[in-house]
């Protein structure tokens, strides 16, 4: 089947040249044919048998071709997997290295089966300018080539190739004309890197330039910004150009032009806006607003969570930001640092850097932000976190023969009870005392049941943040009433003395 395809393809090209009048203008110049891409085999698929037959047929027709092995060697040396990775610089380099004026590329897509179809595309590239000068594409199938009485009708994809090739390449000869390769100053700019690209005034900037020259390299390579020129030195091992200079003091964006100088006459070529750097001397500025917090006694407090809303005062590219949490005494608990812009809002639930909940207390939250030039701004605020109501201590006191109930808050919480209610019960459930109030500590008198050694307290309280405490059947021991010891009277010896 393959031999039948090659025979039909060769016959089609002979027929094509006959239609041209036996002369193809590309015969006067060398043509480099790259491997035909075969998309039916994948994005990087190629069809080498198809390529060799195209080359052989064109050679037989008098077209001077670059040897197929030389084309493959050029592709390997320049890491060119297929023509999909071809650019104008490589086309010009191909013309220089392979001594050709035309680079011919093409694609073939085959779909077999009972009704096969074929798609072909050809493009001719001028190696002087590196630009495409001609392109044709087309497709055909069995149904499009039906013949009278079905005599000689194509049956396979290979049978479809010859007439489609004749249709696509019919005007190639009149489009591509012979030409010489001039001695131009052609180059491929691979990239320009500045470090850092954002700086403060009078800081050092380092530049790295990757550029490939097709012909003679320039005698001098420089970059220019704000009427100041810096010449770059080439690393003999890597071929990379490097240079450094001090940034100007004044804020602003500074475009960079590339300056190439050739020969003793110092012919200068300028490539404008190859890169740029920005001088930033002022810090970005930062303000913090806190939402969901209560204002109590000139302090911000919460029991569930707060919203932190940072605001950058001077919008500019940001490098990183950080958050610090410290105790009221200044002890650093955690620092979290992140790359990029600061979020517009953050939710803090009172957790530390490891995700665990911190204990109730007063904390200082500080946000830091750095722009890409290294300028720093920060802002901080104090906040009280109280997730639990105060705990209480209750005891029975005996004073002057009276029984007293004393209730007090344990130390620790910043905000104490705003309201409370209690009931004191005897050992057998009899209510001895009921009371409501707002402040603690308190001392209340009650009449105990004779002979009972313990009492029970029910207490409900709510602090100023809404945290509630409920103590049910809290046992309190009744202290025994100890009799006073009689002090024996001693006769005085003073009078005897």
For residues 464 and 303, give the distance between their C-alpha atoms in angstroms, rounded to a whole number. 10
Which segments of the chain belong to CATH 3.40.50.10610? 2-175
Q: Are 317 and 198 in contact (CB under 8 A)?
A: yes
Most confident of 61-70, 166-175, 262-271, 487-496: 61-70
pLDDT tier, 99 (very low <50, low <70, confident <90, very high otherwise): confident
**What CATH number does the domain located at 2-175 have?**
3.40.50.10610
Q: Tell me, what's the pLDDT at 193?
A: 94
Q: What is the rounded CA–CA span in Å between residue 227 and residue 389?
A: 69
pLDDT at 157 over 60: no
Min mean pLDDT across 110-119, 148-157, 337-346, 442-451 is at: 148-157
Q: Where in the chain is CATH 2.60.40.4070? A: 286-385
Residue of 45 and 233 predicted with greater confidence = 233
User: Given this model, what pLDDT does residue 51 score?
Assistant: 82
- Give me the pLDDT at residue 185, please: 53
- pLDDT of residue 437 exceeding 60, the answer is yes
Question: With a threshold of 0.85, does the pTM exceed it?
Answer: no
Please report how the helices 68-77 and 88-98 are oriented relative to each other, as an axis angle in degrees rounded to 10. Answer: 130
Return the higher-pLDDT residue of 74 and 263: 74
What class, spelled out in words, does domain 286-385 have in CATH?
mainly beta
pLDDT at position 182 is: 41
Closest CA to 228 of 192, 277, 262: 277
pLDDT at 154: 59
Average of per-residue pLDDT across 214-219: 82
Q: Are 57 and 13 in contact (CB under 8 A)?
A: yes
The answer to whether 53 and 123 have CB atoms below 8 angstroms apart is: no
d(Cα 426, Cα 433) in Å, to the nearest integer? 9
Return residue ranges of the chain for CATH 2.60.40.1930.
187-279
Task: Please list the residue range(s) of the chain that carry CATH number 2.60.40.1220.
Answer: 392-477
pLDDT of residue 76 exceeding 70: yes
For residue 321, give the nearest of 373, 380, 371 by alpha carbon: 371
pLDDT (0 to 100) of residue 172: 57
Q: pLDDT confidence of 253, banded at 50, 70, 90? A: very high
Query: Rounded distance, CA 48 to CA 161, Å?
Result: 16
Q: How confident is the model at residue 179 (pLDDT cuts 50, 70, 90)?
A: very low
In terms of CATH architecture, what is 392-477?
Answer: Sandwich (2.60)
Give the residue from 83, 100, 82, 81 showing the smallest Cα distance to 92. Answer: 100
Class of domain 187-279: mainly beta
Going by DSSP bridges, is the β-strand pair 46-47/36-38 parallel, antiparallel, or unpaired? antiparallel
Is 90 exceeded by the pLDDT of residue 497?
Answer: no
Start-to-end CA distance of the chain, whole Å, equals 150
Q: For residues 379 and 368, what is the distance between their CA atoms, to the nearest angstrom? A: 7
The model's confidence at residue 159, banded by pLDDT at 50, 70 and 90, is low
Q: Is 495 exposed, middle or buried (0-12, 13-18, 19+ CB in 10 A)?
A: exposed
Which range, 67-81, 133-147, 333-347, is most confident? 333-347
What's the mean pLDDT in 219-245?
Answer: 92
Q: At a CB cut-off of 8 Å and minimum separation 6, what does 434 contact?
A: 421, 422, 423, 424
């Amino acid at each position: 089947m393959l031999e039948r395809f090659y025979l039909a393809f060769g016959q089609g090209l002979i027929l094509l040249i006959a239609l041209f009048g036996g002369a193809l203008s590309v015969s006067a110049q060398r043509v480099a044919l790259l491997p035909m891409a075969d998309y039916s085999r994948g994005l990087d698929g190629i069809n080498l048998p198809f390529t060799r037959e195209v080359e052989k047929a064109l050679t037989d027709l008098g077209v001077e071709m670059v040897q197929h092995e030389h084309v493959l060697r050029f592709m390997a040396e320049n890491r060119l997997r297929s023509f999909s990775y071809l650019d104008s610089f490589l086309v010009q380099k191909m013309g220089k290295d392979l001594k050709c004026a035309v680079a011919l590329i093409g694609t073939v897509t085959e779909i077999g089966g009972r009704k096969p179809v074929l798609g072909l595309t050809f493009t001719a590239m001028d190696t002087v300018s590196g630009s495409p000068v001609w392109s044709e594409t087309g497709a055909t199938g069995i149904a499009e080539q039906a013949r009278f009485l079905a005599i000689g009708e194509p049956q396979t994809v290979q049978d479809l190739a010859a007439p489609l090739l004749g249709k696509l390449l019919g005007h190639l000869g009149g489009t591509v004309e012979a030409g010489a390769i001039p001695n131009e100053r052609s180059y491929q700019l691979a990239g320009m890197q500045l470090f850092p690209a954002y700086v403060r005034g009078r800081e050092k900037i380092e530049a790295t330039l990757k550029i490939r020259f097709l012909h003679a390299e320039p005698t001098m390579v420089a970059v220019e910004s704000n009427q100041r020129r810096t010449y770059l030195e080439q690393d003999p091992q890597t071929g990379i150009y490097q240079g450094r200079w001090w940034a100007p003091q004044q804020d602003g964006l500074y475009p960079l032009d590339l300056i190439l100088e050739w020969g003793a006459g110092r012919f200068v070529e300028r490539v404008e806006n190859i890169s740029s750097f920005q001088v930033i001397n002022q810090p970005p500025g930062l303000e913090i607003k806190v939402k969901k917090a209560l204002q109590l006694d000139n302090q911000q407090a919460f029991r569930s969570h707060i919203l932190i809303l940072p605001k950058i005062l001077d919008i500019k590219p940001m490098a990183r930001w950080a958050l610090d949490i410290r105790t009221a005494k200044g002890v650093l608990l955690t620092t979290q640092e992140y790359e990029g812009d600061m979020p517009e809002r953050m939710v803090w639930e009172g957790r530390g850097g490891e995700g665990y909940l911190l204990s109730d207390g007063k904390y200082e939250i500080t946000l830091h932000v750095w722009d890409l030039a290294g300028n720093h701004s920060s802002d901080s605020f104090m906040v009280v976190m109280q997730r639990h109501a105060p705990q209480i201590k209750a005891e029975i006191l005996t004073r002057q023969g009276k029984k007293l109930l004393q209730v007090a808050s344990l130390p620790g919480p910043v905000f104490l009870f705003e309201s409370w209610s209690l009931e004191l019960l005897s050992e057998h459930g009899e209510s001895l005392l009921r009371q409501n109030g707002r402040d603690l500590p308190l001392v209340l008198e009650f009449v105990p049941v004779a002979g009972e050694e313990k009492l029970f307290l029910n207490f409900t309280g709510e602090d100023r943040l809404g945290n509630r405490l409920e103590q049910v059947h809290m046992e309190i021991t009744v202290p025994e009433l100890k009799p006073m010891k009689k002090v024996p009277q001693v006769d005085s010896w003073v009078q005897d003395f």
